[in-house]
A and B are shown apart, each in its own frame.
Chain A
Amino acid sequence: KNQVEQSPQSLIILEGKNCTLQCNYTVSPFSNLRWYKQDTGRGPVSLTIMTFSENTKSNGRYTATLDADTKQSSLHITASQLSDSASYICVVSAEAGTALIFGKGTTLSVSS
């Protein structure tokens, strides 16, 4: 069964600190993996997208990694800001054109 598991479920960190969110998937065949940021009451906004051959992709203070062999991905946030408080969702596509498979997300709270 195609599944996407994220950990931790929630995380609280101090402003300025770094953090890493994890995503494990059992989706096959694999097409690509996306990380989205979803603010409360808003739609998801794309942060990164990686295909099978990509190991790392950065978007400002966000860096995503992908290990297609172990079917794991991580999202590293550097020098966190209060505005980083949101839900971060890992989304995997089984193959081009098929429905996306969503993780339940990690809720990040950044406090001052």
Chain B
Amino acid sequence: GAVVSQHPSWVICKSGTSVKIECRSLDFQATTMFWYRQFPKQSLMLMATSNEGSKATYEQGVEKDKFLINHASLTLSTLTVTSAHPEDSSFYICSARSGHGYTFGSGTRLTVV
């Protein structure tokens, strides 16, 4: 089946620094990648949709200059949290659409201290 590899699985960073999260589709081409954020005991919230070779589409309330998304190839999409603050601490998950439906990455736990 389709596999989306997400790294890192967890990261701790200092306030003000930037963190990059990568998602790779291992055995299929992901034309579209979705990025979600999930707070404890809450549902996944869509942050943005990225399409290979074009600018990402951000959901209302999501700062595009803070959450930089790059989808330079059909197998790699990255989310960079710039100038991270403690309130950005959350669980970030990517998802790609394949012939098997939507496949999710394993998630990245970001803690900003």
Contact = CB atoms under 8 A, between A and B. Distances in A.
A100 B109 CA distance: 22
Contacts of B49: 99
A50 to B, nearest CB: 11
Given A102-B43, A104-B43, A49 B101 contact: yes
A43 B102 contact: no
B43 A89 contact: yes
A103 B41 CA distance: 11
Nearest to A36: B104
B77 to A, nearest CB: 14
Say whether chain A's binding surface is mostly helix, strand, loop, or mixed: strand
A46 B43 contact: no
User: How many residues of B sit at the interface, in one of the four size bands?
Assistant: 20 to 34
Interface residues of A, number: 18
A43 B106 contact: yes
B42 A100 contact: no
Which of A41, A49, A107 has the largest number of chain B CB atoms within 10 A? Answer: A41
Given A99-B49, A103-B43, A46 B109 contact: no
A100 B91 contact: no
22 contacts: A34-B101, A34-B102, A36-B104, A42-B106, A42-B107, A43-B93, A43-B105, A43-B107, A44-B44, A44-B104, A46-B100, A46-B102, A49-B101, A91-B102, A99-B34, A99-B46, A100-B34, A100-B46, A100-B102, A102-B44, A103-B43, A104-B42
Considering the complex of A and B, which 7 residue pairs feature the smallest CB-CB distances, nearest first? A43-B104, A102-B43, A104-B43, A43-B107, A43-B106, A44-B104, A102-B44
Interface of B: 4, 6, 34, 41-44, 46, 49, 91, 93, 95, 100-107, 109
